[in-house]
């Protein structure tokens, strides 16, 4: 982005810069175009999403027992809710 005249403290800043704006300005369009071009050139999204996927997979592997336990608790909770709904004639 610096090559295009932009200097931001974080790579995701251009995407959030105009988040609260009520209208789209020519400046926003120019900024977003430059951001997309930069991301395509640097493969930023592909690289970061790949890294994130690897980190999530590693975490899931390291915490598989806890994840399985939580999923079991969720299933129990949903079964309990279904039973309550049925007993109230809401099923």
Domain ranges of the chain: 2-42, 47-87
Question: Does this model's pTM top 0.75?
Answer: no
- Please, are residues 30 and 38 in contact by the beta-carbon 8 Å criterion? no
- 21-69 pLDDT, tens per residue? 889 889 889 888 888 888 888 888 888 888 889 999 999 999 999 999 9
At a CB cut-off of 8 Å and minimum separation 6, what does 31 contact?
6, 14, 17, 18
Return the closest-CA partner of residue 42 out of 72, 71, 14, 79: 14
Query: Is the pLDDT confidence value at 70 over 80?
Result: yes
Nearest-angstrom CA–CA distance, 47 and 51: 6
pLDDT score of 85: 94
């Amino acid at each position: 982005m610096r090559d295009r005249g932009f200097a931001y403290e974080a790579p995701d800043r251009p995407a959030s810069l105009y988040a609260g704006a009520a209208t789209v300005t020519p400046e926003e369009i120019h900024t977003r175009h430059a951001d997309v071009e930069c991301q395509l050139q640097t493969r930023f999204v592909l690289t970061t999403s790949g890294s994130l996927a690897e980190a999530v997979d590693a975490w899931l592997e390291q915490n598989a027992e806890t994840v399985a336990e939580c999923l079991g608790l969720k299933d129990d909770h949903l079964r309990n809710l279904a039973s309550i709904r049925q007993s109230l004639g809401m099923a």
